[in-house]
Amino acid sequence: MPTSTDLLQGTLDLLILQTLSLEPMHGWGVAQRIQQVSKEALQIGQGSLYPALYRLEYKGWIKAEWGNSENNRRAKFYRLTAAGRRQLESELETWDRLSTAIGLVLGRTVEAPR
């Protein structure tokens, strides 16, 4: 599934971790949240979303639990683990450094990312 803007390699993981850091969410919710927050610029298809969720789960950064959705349907909720939170922090730092550096090279002033 193509996304409307090609994401940098590994950025999807960062976006998912950031989204889940607010509250536990199911896969659909994660996709919707990223789409809303990015003002429809980033659309995550299931073809890349679920492999990414599984990858993060296998790495132990998020944890999956079955629960009930808003409309009372059984759904799988993901939440950030302690390891995931640490990972998110270090990835955010890396992102800041990288985006500032790229901004400098491209001659743009970069807004604070958060």
Is there binding between residue 9 and other proteins (CB under 8 A)? Answer: no
Q: Is residue 74 close enough to count as binding other proteins by CB under 8 A?
A: yes
Q: By CB under 8 A, tell whether 41 contacts other proteins.
A: no
**Is residue 11 at the binding interface for other proteins, with CB under 8 A as the rule?**
no
Q: Is 28 in the site for other proteins (CB under 8 A)?
A: yes
> Which among 69, 53, 43, 51 has a CA at the least distance from the CA of 20?
53
3-class SS at 42? Answer: coil
33: how many CB neighbours lie within 10 A of its CB?
19
- Residue 55 interacting with other proteins (CB under 8 A): yes
Angle between the 46-59 and 27-37 helix axes, to the nearest 10 degrees?
110
Position 62, amino acid: I
Q: Least distance (Å) from other proteins to the CB of residue 37?
A: 17
Where on the chain is the footprint of other proteins (CB under 8 A)?
Answer: 1, 26-28, 31, 45-47, 50-51, 54-55, 58-60, 69, 71, 73-76, 83
